[in-house]
């Protein structure tokens, strides 16, 4: 019997191997968005004191895109671009408004979450995914379920000592509240419940949008205690950094609620701000950990594709400012991590990537048909092999006809008036030396300029917040609907 048994088993095994394989179940998607997080996370090395073990662990479990960049250095245009698959220059959405459903170029587009809702995923959103509130018309076409957003209670008195009457969000400090009362903890709990209650016979798409480290930078005291003020390291800055930069660079952030570095220094608020950013990032990272733990506890981790991203970066003194609204590395570089089925663990892709690439990547990774109207490019080849080549740069746009082209080595910026910046990021990672005027780099600029968007629509909201208008025929400039005269001094906070 034993002599006959072995051939029979081998024959059965051969038949099984020839039989058609059952199709793999469509993966779940956990879509984690973070507001205003630059590269100050451990795996990106943006700040030596960053405490982000859960995001770092996620990067080890999947693929980290270490040269990923946003399409706009501002919440609304960045998120509108990612979720519709169109560049800001193709839609005219540059400012904090309008909603993309009111713009002709995007009002009828099927968004990223809407695509999965229509395809049969159980879809849920909490926190900040779109900018602001759901679309007024048929929000269930985007997500089937929208959780109620909770704001962190504001302290009775602001912590930050800033001049005049600062914007209410311009504050940072430890609050006397438990973790459970902070907005991001509540948001994570909503996403956790959605994962736990998701139907077992359908894939889920759970989108969780964290607020921190967007201002106001409030978190429980225990998280600030992890960063003693006297030990906090300030980011390196060069006081003459903007001496070789075109004046036009100031117009992109002419008047903002975020304070200039000079004000932070005068008011002794630079260290407290940096500490608060580190503390709030650490608190937010703990909420990411809670989500990832839930995948393990529910047995869904093996079949859940996790994508984590931030909508843009944030300056903390670099280039003599705080906030975003710039075309430099601190404002454009963002975390982008994929982990889960189909993703090779431990991958680190150094080729340029864009947030615009997330949409086509999720379509291909889930076996859905490609969309020819999307302007990004799938990252699936890099999810399999992080060294797979990518021929495209990362392009960031700040208002009409102001663009940055970022390759693996270079950043080329051209403003609407034709002025330029060029940085060799390998030799000058802090972008302290503008090479644009040197004849030796004329060919490099010409090659990079070929990637500048050919379409540059006018602003869909000409007088909107954070909107800059420039008339190349006359040189006229307006910021948020108010004229800027050629001799006007650069605004400060005094």
Query: How many residues are listed for the chain in this entry?
Result: 494
Question: Phi and psi at residue 98, in whole multiples of 5°?
Answer: -90, 175
Catalytic residue among 47, 99, 131, 214: 131
Catalytic residue among 75, 126, 208, 280: 75
Beta bridge partners of 173: 218
Question: Phi and psi at residue 160, in whole multiples of 5°?
Answer: -75, 135
Dihedral angle of Cα 404, 406, 410, 416, to the nearest 10 degrees? -10
Pairing mode, if any, of strands 217-220 and 204-210?
unpaired
Nearest-angstrom CA–CA distance, 43 and 348: 10
The answer to whether 235 touches 58, Cβ cutoff 8 Å, is no
DSSP letter for each residue of 251-294: HTTSS-SSPBHHHHHHTT-HHHHHHHHHHHHHHHHHHHHHHHHH
334 closest CA partner among 306, 356, 313: 313
The answer to whether 384 touches 111, Cβ cutoff 8 Å, is no
Nearest-angstrom CA–CA distance, 481 and 254: 12
Nearest-angstrom CA–CA distance, 393 and 409: 10
Is 349 in the active site? no
149 closest CA partner among 121, 183, 197: 183
- 193: cis peptide before it, omega within 30°? no
Is 126 in the active site? no
Which residues are identified as catalytic? 75, 131
């Amino acid at each position: 019997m034993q002599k006959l048994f072995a051939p029979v088993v081998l024959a059965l095994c051969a038949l099984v191997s020839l039989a058609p394989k059952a199709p793999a179940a469509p993966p779940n998607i956990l879509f984690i968005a973070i507001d205003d997080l630059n590269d100050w996370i451990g795996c990106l090395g943006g700040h030596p004191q960053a405490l982000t073990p859960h995001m770092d662990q996620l990067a080890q479990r999947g693929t980290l895109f270490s040269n990923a960049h946003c399409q706009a250095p501002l919440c609304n245009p960045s998120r509108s671009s990612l979720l519709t698959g169109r560049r800001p220059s193709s839609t005219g959405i540059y400012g904090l408004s309008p909603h993309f459903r009111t713009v002709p170029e995007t009002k009828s587009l099927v968004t990223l979450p809407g695509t999965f809702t229509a395809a049969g995923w159980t879809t849920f959103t909490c926190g900040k995914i779109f900018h602001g509130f759901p679309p007024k018309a048929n929000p269930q076409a985007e997500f089937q379920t929208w959780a109620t957003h909770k704001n962190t209670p504001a302290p009775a008195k602001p912590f930050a000592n800033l001049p005049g009457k600062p914007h209410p969000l311009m504050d940072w400090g430890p609050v006397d509240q438990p973790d459970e009362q902070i907005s991001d903890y509540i948001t994570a709990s909503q996403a956790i419940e959605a994962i736990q209650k998701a139907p077992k016979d359908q894939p889920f798409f759970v989108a969780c949008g964290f607020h921190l480290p967007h201002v106001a930078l409030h978190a429980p005291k225990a998280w600030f205690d992890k960063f003693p003020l006297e030990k906090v390291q300030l980011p390196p800055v060069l006081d003459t950094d903007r001496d070789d930069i075109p004046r036009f660079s100031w117009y992109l952030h002419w008047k903002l609620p975020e304070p200039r570095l000079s004000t932070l220094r005068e008011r002794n608020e630079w260290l407290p701000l940096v500490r608060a950013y580190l503390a709030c990032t650490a608190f937010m990272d703990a909420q990411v950990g809670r989500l990832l733990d839930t995948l393990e506890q529910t047995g869904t981790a093996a079949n859940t594709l996790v994508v984590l991203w931030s909508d843009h970066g944030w300056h903390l003194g670099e280039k003599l400012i705080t906030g975003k609204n710039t075309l430099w590395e601190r404002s454009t570089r963002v975390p982008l991590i994929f982990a889960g089925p189909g993703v090779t663990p431990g991958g680190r892709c150094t080729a340029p990537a864009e947030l615009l690439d997330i949409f086509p990547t999720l379509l291909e990774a889930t076996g859905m048909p490609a969309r020819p109207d999307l302007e990004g490019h799938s990252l699936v080849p890099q999810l399999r092999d992080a060294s797979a080549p990518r021929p495209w740069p990362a392009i960031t746009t700040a208002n009409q006809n102001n663009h940055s082209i970022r390759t693996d080595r270079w950043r080329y910026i051209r403003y609407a008036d034709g002025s330029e910046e060029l940085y060799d990021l390998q030799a000058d990672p802090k972008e302290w030396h503008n090479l644009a005027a040197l004849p030796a780099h004329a060919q490099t600029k010409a090659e990079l300029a070929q990637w500048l968007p050919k379409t540059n629509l006018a602003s869909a909201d000409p007088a909107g917040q954070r909107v800059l208008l420039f008339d190349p025929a006359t040189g006229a400039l307006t910021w948020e609907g108010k004229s800027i005269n050629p001799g006007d001094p650069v605004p400060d906070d005094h």
